[in-house]
Amino acid sequence: MAQDHVKLKKTIDFLNKRDLDGLIIYSNGTCNILGPKYLYYFAEFRPLGPNNAAVVAKNGESALLVEPKWDADRAGRHSWIEDVRGTSDFSKDLVDLMNALGLNNQVGVVASGEMTEDIYSEIEKIIRIEPVDEFIQDMAREKTEKELAIARKAGRIADVGFETFLKHARIGISEYELLAEMELAMRSAGADDNFNLMSSGKHNYHMHNATDRRLTYGDIVIGEITAACEGQFVQLCRTVVVGEPEPLLKEKYEMLAKALDAAIQPVKSGAPAAQISIDMNKVISDAGYAKYCYPPYMRARGHGIGVGSIAPGGVIDDNAEGTLERDQVIVIHPNQYLPETGYLACGETFLVTDTGFERLSETESKLYIKGV
């Protein structure tokens, strides 16, 4: 029953402590790896249309309003919220729903920054809006067993993505074709979305969306593979060489693998997030590449990913604030531009624990060689 759902109970407690009439959690239907989708996390339903909202009153009454109207049936099959309503006039129906639930004074709003001006103005006419995005972030910091299982599943899907990346990386295949093979394999493994970037060539400068460039002998092929599964995300960064690599390339990649190993040593709840970047940069700097550890060559040594991570899109660098917390999911990657080899990809996703961390992917951190 919805009344017994842990997220609803936490919401009711929050509303009463803050003396709010209710809570509105909005979504414009987009989904990406750095901007957490609060409604997807809360309602356990991924919206498709441009306007959607969960509305919860402090007495526990709740409803889910989705656009387009025909998507209500799918929402009802996925969400724990029992009262699901489709709409063809979102602003009007949202206001009507708020009135029906008694939301007429001060209301907390999550993801108000995603709202269009007309929607925001309509609800502001009848209530005082208090932005409370941090409420969902705080709720998501304590993951349920179901959420942890989904994160681990996303890790396995990322592994499938890389296995496919390695299998199909060959002379003559285009970047488009390679990512299409990955998309098929990852979706077949259970992903509901993927955010994959790559680059190929003898000297790469960054990762990007796939192009029609075809792989040739000696190419360094780099991939940023991100699987999305029921609102959880796991990213895997790896490098494949088509043909026999030069000894220098093997040497430089081994340096990055050592930097990754150094960076994960301090990871556990209570550790400073910045220490990850500091320890990683020390290994690379000691090898003679200090200036390449910072802009304009590099921006960050990792980042939060999804709801309940270090911050919505927050980066890990030498100046990162705050400490790590149990159950946070973070990406750590010594992805690095080096003048001799170009940009190389090395990194993965970790679940923070009280005693250390859990790797969410099983793919080994090494330079992969694809024989021809």
List, for residues 67-120, the tens digit of each pLDDT value.
Answer: 999 999 999 999 999 999 999 999 999 999 999 999 989 999 999 999 999 999
Burial profile 218-248: b = 16 or more Cβ within 10 angstroms, e = fewer:
bbbbbbbbbbbbbbbbbbbbbbbbbeebeee
pLDDT band at 305 (very low <50, low <70, confident <90, very high): confident
Does the pLDDT at position 313 exceed 70? no
- Tell me how far apart the alpha carbons of residues 344 and 334 are, in angstroms, rounded to a whole number: 9
CA atoms within 13 A on the CB side of 98: 28
pLDDT band at 4 (very low <50, low <70, confident <90, very high): low
Q: Which are the contacts of 83, defined by CB distance < 8 A and separation ≥ 6?
A: 61, 62, 63, 64
Give the containing element (helix H, strand E) for 196: none
Find tokens 């330079």 and name the residue: 367
Same domain, 331 and 346: yes
Check residue 123 and give its pLDDT. Answer: 94
Domain range for 104 is 2-140
Same domain, 287 and 162: yes
- DSSP per residue, 47-77: --SS-EEEEEETTS-EEEEESSGGGHHHHHH
- Grouping H, G, I as helix, E, B as strand and the rest as coil, residue 237 is strand
Closest CA to 198 of 165, 170, 228: 165
What CATH number is associated with residue 344?
3.90.230.10
Same domain, 177 and 284: yes
Same domain, 280 and 166: yes
Does the pLDDT at position 201 exceed 90? yes
List, for residues 26-53, the tens digit of each pLDDT value.
Answer: 999 988 777 778 999 999 999 999 999 9
Could you give the C-alpha distances from 53 to 94, 130, 219, in angstroms and in order? 8, 16, 47
Same domain, 178 and 122: no
Same domain, 104 and 230: no
List, for residues 222-279, the tens digit of each pLDDT value.
Answer: 999 999 988 889 999 999 999 999 999 999 999 999 999 999 999 999 999 999 999 9
Check residue 312 and give its pLDDT. Answer: 59
The answer to whether 215 and 170 are in contact (CB under 8 A) is yes
Average pLDDT, the chain: 94
Check residue 32 and give its pLDDT. Answer: 77
What total of structural domains would you count in the chain? 2
Same domain, 175 and 305: yes
Same domain, 117 and 154: no
Pairing state of beta strands 84-86 and 62-66?
A: parallel
Average pLDDT over residues 4-12: 90
Same domain, 235 and 115: no
Check residue 293 and give its pLDDT. Answer: 96
**Six token digits for residue 246:** 């030069």
- Tell me how far apart the alpha carbons of residues 83 and 54 are, in angstroms, rounded to a whole number: 10
Average pLDDT over residues 116-132: 94
Same domain, 125 and 255: no
pLDDT band at 2 (very low <50, low <70, confident <90, very high): low
Listed range (21-30, 179-188, 312-321) with the worst mean pLDDT: 312-321
Q: What residue spans of 202-269 are helical by DSSP H?
A: 247-264
Does the pLDDT at position 309 exceed 60? yes
State which of 125, 140, 155 marks the end of a domain: 140
3-state DSSP: the chain helix, strand, coil percent, rounded to 5?
A: 35, 25, 40
Closest CA to 182 of 230, 238, 242, 244: 238
What CATH number is associated with residue 112?
3.40.350.10
Same domain, 151 and 262: yes
Question: SS3 for 325-346, per residue?
Answer: CCCCEEEECCCEEECCCEEECC
Check residue 1 and give its pLDDT. Answer: 43
- Percent of the chain surpassing pLDDT 70: 98
List, for residues 329-348, the tens digit of each pLDDT value.
Answer: 999 999 999 999 999 999 99
List 229's β-bridge partners, or say none.
Answer: 232
Same domain, 181 and 245: yes
State which of 88, 116, 140 marks the end of a domain: 140
State which of 140, 164, 180 marks the end of a domain: 140
Angle at 240 between CA 235 and CA 244, to 5 degrees: 165
